[in-house]
A and B are shown apart, each in its own frame.
Chain A
Amino acid sequence: MTSATPALRVEGLSRHFGSLKAVDEVSFEVAPGSRHAVIGPNGAGKSTLFALVAGALPATSGSVWLHGDDVTLLTEHGRARRGLVRTFQHSSLFLTATARENVLLALQRRHGVQARPWGAVRRRRALLEEADAVLERLFLHHRAGQAAGALSHGERRQLEVAVALATSPSVLLLDEPAAGMSPADTQAFREIVLGLPSKVTVLLVEHDLDLVFGVADRVTVMQLGRHLLTGDPDEVRASDAVQKAYLGAEDTSELFVDEEGA
Chain B
Amino acid sequence: MSATSSGMTPAPAPVRRPFPVRTTVLVGVVVLLLALVPWTFGAFTVATFTRALVFAVLAMSVNLLTGVAGMPTLGQAAYFGVGAYTGALVAIHWSDLGVLQLVLATLAGVVAALVTGPLAIRGRGVAFLMITLAIGEIGFSAAGRLDSVTGGTDGLSGIPPVVAVPGTEGLVNEGLIYYYVLVVAVVAYLAVAMLLRSPFGLTLRGLRDNEGRLRAVGYRTDSYALAAYVYAGGLAALAGSLWASSQRFVAPGDLGFEVSALALLAVIVGGVGSMWGACLGALVVVFTQDYLGQLFSGHAPLLLGLLFVLAVYLLPKGIAGGRSQWRRLFPRERSQEDDEAVTPV
Residues of A within 8 A of B (CB): 54, 56, 75-78, 80-81, 85-86, 88, 92-97, 100-101, 104-106, 108-110, 113-125, 128-129, 132, 141-146, 150-151, 163-164, 166-167
B201 contacts chain A at the CB level, 8 A cutoff: yes
- With A97-B206, A115-B227 already in contact, the answer to whether A56 and B212 are too (CB < 8 A) is yes
* Contact B213–A104 (Cβ < 8 Å): no
- With A97-B209, A122-B17 already in contact, the answer to whether A115 and B218 are too (CB < 8 A) is no
B32 contacts chain A at the CB level, 8 A cutoff: no
CA distance A101 to B214 in the complex (A): 12
Residues of B within 8 A of A (CB): 4, 6-7, 10-17, 194-195, 197-203, 205-206, 208-210, 212-221, 223-224, 227, 231
- With A56-B216, A163-B217 already in contact, the answer to whether A141 and B199 are too (CB < 8 A) is no
Taking A80-B216, A121-B202 as known contacts, 16 extra A-B pairs with beta carbons closer than 8 A to each other, sorted by chain A number, are: A56-B212, A76-B215, A76-B216, A104-B202, A108-B199, A109-B217, A114-B224, A115-B227, A117-B195, A117-B198, A118-B194, A132-B13, A150-B6, A151-B7, A163-B217, A166-B217
CA distance A94 to B224 in the complex (A): 16
* Contact B200–A77 (Cβ < 8 Å): no
Q: Which residues of A contact B215 (CB under 8 A)?
A: 56, 76-77, 80
**In the complex, the 4 A-B pairs of residues with the closest C-beta atoms, listed nearest first:** A145-B11, A80-B218, A94-B209, A120-B197
* Contact A97–B197 (Cβ < 8 Å): no
| 14 contacts across the A-B interface (CB closer than 8 A) | A76-B216, A78-B220, A86-B216, A97-B205, A100-B13, A105-B203, A115-B199, A115-B200, A115-B227, A120-B194, A122-B17, A143-B11, A145-B14, A146-B6
CA distance A117 to B4 in the complex (A): 35
* Contact B10–A143 (Cβ < 8 Å): yes
Q: Which residues of A contact B12 (CB under 8 A)?
A: 145
Q: Which residues of B contact A86 (CB under 8 A)?
A: 216
CA distance A199 to B200 in the complex (A): 31
Q: Which residues of A contact B16 (CB under 8 A)?
A: 125
* Contact A121–B206 (Cβ < 8 Å): no
Give the distance to chain A from B341, nearest Cβ to Cβ, in Å: 20
Q: Which residues of A contact B227 (CB under 8 A)?
A: 115
Q: Which residues of A contact B4 (CB under 8 A)?
A: 150
Q: Which residues of A contact B205 (CB under 8 A)?
A: 94, 96-97, 101
Q: Which residues of A contact B203 (CB under 8 A)?
A: 105, 108, 114-115
Q: Which residues of B contact A119 (CB under 8 A)?
A: 198-199
CA distance A14 to B33 in the complex (A): 66
Among A104, A109, A141, contact of B219 (Cβ-Cβ < 8 Å): A109
CA distance A100 to B301 in the complex (A): 44
Give the distance to chain A from B117, nearest Cβ to Cβ, in Å: 15
CA distance A119 to B196 in the complex (A): 10
Q: Which residues of A contact B223 (CB under 8 A)?
A: 115
Q: Which residues of A contact B208 (CB under 8 A)?
A: 96
- With A97-B206, A115-B227, A119-B199 already in contact, the answer to whether A75 and B220 are too (CB < 8 A) is yes
Give the distance to chain A from B218, nearest Cβ to Cβ, in Å: 4
Give the distance to chain B from A221, nearest Cβ to Cβ, in Å: 26
* Contact A163–B198 (Cβ < 8 Å): no
Q: Which residues of B contact A109 (CB under 8 A)?
A: 217-219
* Contact B210–A121 (Cβ < 8 Å): no
- Tell me which of B16, B203, B231 has the highest count of chain A C-beta atoms within 10 A of its own C-beta: B203
Q: Which residues of B contact A122 (CB under 8 A)?
A: 17, 197
Among A56, A81, A97, A121, contact of B218 (Cβ-Cβ < 8 Å): A81
Give the distance to chain A from B312, nearest Cβ to Cβ, in Å: 20
* Contact A167–B14 (Cβ < 8 Å): no
* Contact A92–B195 (Cβ < 8 Å): no
Among B15, B195, B198, B217, contact of A80 (Cβ-Cβ < 8 Å): B217
Give the distance to chain B from A143, nearest Cβ to Cβ, in Å: 7
With both beta carbons as reference points, the residue of chain A lying nearest to B1 in the complex is identified as A152
CA distance A119 to B201 in the complex (A): 10
With both beta carbons as reference points, the residue of chain A lying nearest to B214 in the complex is identified as A105
- With A97-B206, A97-B209, A128-B15 already in contact, the answer to whether A85 and B199 are too (CB < 8 A) is no
Q: Which residues of B contact A80 (CB under 8 A)?
A: 215-218
Among A81, A97, A116, contact of B199 (Cβ-Cβ < 8 Å): A116
CA distance A78 to B344 in the complex (A): 53
Q: Which residues of A contact B194 (CB under 8 A)?
A: 117-118, 120
Give the distance to chain A from B71, nearest Cβ to Cβ, in Å: 15
CA distance A164 to B217 in the complex (A): 7
Give the distance to chain A from B156, nearest Cβ to Cβ, in Å: 32
CA distance A143 to B11 in the complex (A): 6
CA distance A122 to B274 in the complex (A): 18
* Contact B216–A121 (Cβ < 8 Å): no
Give the distance to chain B from A259, nearest Cβ to Cβ, in Å: 24
Q: Which residues of A contact B216 (CB under 8 A)?
A: 54, 56, 76-77, 80, 85-86, 88, 92
With both beta carbons as reference points, the residue of chain B lying nearest to A148 in the complex is identified as B209
* Contact B206–A125 (Cβ < 8 Å): no
Q: Which residues of B contact A77 (CB under 8 A)?
A: 215-216, 218-221
Give the distance to chain A from B132, nearest Cβ to Cβ, in Å: 22
- With A94-B210, A128-B15 already in contact, the answer to whether A105 and B220 are too (CB < 8 A) is no
CA distance A109 to B206 in the complex (A): 12
Q: Which residues of A contact B224 (CB under 8 A)?
A: 114-115
